[in-house]
A and B are shown apart, each in its own frame.
Chain A
Amino acid sequence: GENVEQHPSTLSVQEGDSAVIKCTYSDSASNYFPWYKQELGKGPQLIIDIRSNVGEKKDQRIAVTLNKTAKHFSLHITETQPEDSAVYFCAARKSGYSTLTFGKGTMLLVSP
């Protein structure tokens, strides 16, 4: 089955810095790559996603890049703010399947 590796497991940055979280996947048939943010005491919530026919997608301060050849995708957060502090999960889904395989998560801490 699909295997998703996520790094780093924790990331500490100063407010205003950029943060990058990287994921790799194993199954070349995967074609959908979402990112979820989990705030303390809440369930994960989708923040951005990308499909395999696109190399990059942006939404204000967040962006996701996808390299299908290398089978990796990354989340980029610019101008980080304390409210960006949360656990972030990447995931991958194979074409024709409904289930997502999640990475193990990255705890992002943004210090004021």
Chain B
Amino acid sequence: EAQVTQNPRYLITVTGKKLTVTCSQNMNHEYMSWYRQDPGLGLRQIYYSMNVEVTDKGDVPEGYKVSRKEKRNFPLILESPSPNQTSLYFCASSDLRGPVANVLTFGAGSRLTVL
């Protein structure tokens, strides 16, 4: 089944404790992206990647890091989490060419709470 898999789905952590949210897709998509969803603010892009070893900042990159060492994986790293990073996070991927170019497939989400 074509899908984007995120882990963990739920996480409660404390301020300053480094964490990584993994994202993997099995569709051979070039494009991958991270969003955070907050009440009243919709979906805001954190980082995106158009191919292996190519990453770019989105609208709200502060406090986050990403890497794209393999085409299928795009982990989101919070080096020193703070309470304002409490949010629902989504990973998404898409083709960049062809009839379904730019149609995003989203993961199920990762709910992160930072105390």
Partners in one complex: yes
Q: Is B61 in the interface zone, CB < 8 Å from A?
A: no
Interface residues in B65-92 (C-beta closer than 8 Å to A): 90, 92
**Distance in angstroms between the alpha carbons of A1 and B57 in the assembled complex:** 13
**Distance in angstroms between the alpha carbons of A44 and B42 in the assembled complex:** 11
Closest residue of chain A to B45 (Cβ to Cβ) is A99
Pairwise interchain contact A49-B103, C-beta atoms closer than 8 A: yes
Q: Is B40 in the interface zone, CB < 8 Å from A?
A: yes
Q: Is B112 in the interface zone, CB < 8 Å from A?
A: no
Pairwise interchain contact A98-B106, C-beta atoms closer than 8 A: no
| B: number of interface residues (CB 8 Å) | 24
If A89-B42, A98-B96, A99-B48 touch, does A43 touch B108 (CB 8 Å cutoff)? yes
Interface residues in B27-58 (C-beta closer than 8 Å to A): 31, 33, 35, 40-45, 48, 50, 58
Pairwise interchain contact A46-B103, C-beta atoms closer than 8 A: yes
Q: Which residue numbers of B lie inside 8 Å of A, CB to CB?
A: 4, 31, 33, 35, 40-45, 48, 50, 58-59, 90, 92, 96, 102-104, 106-109
Q: Which residue numbers of A lie inside 8 Å of B, CB to CB?
A: 1, 6, 9, 32, 34, 36, 41-46, 49, 89, 93, 98-105
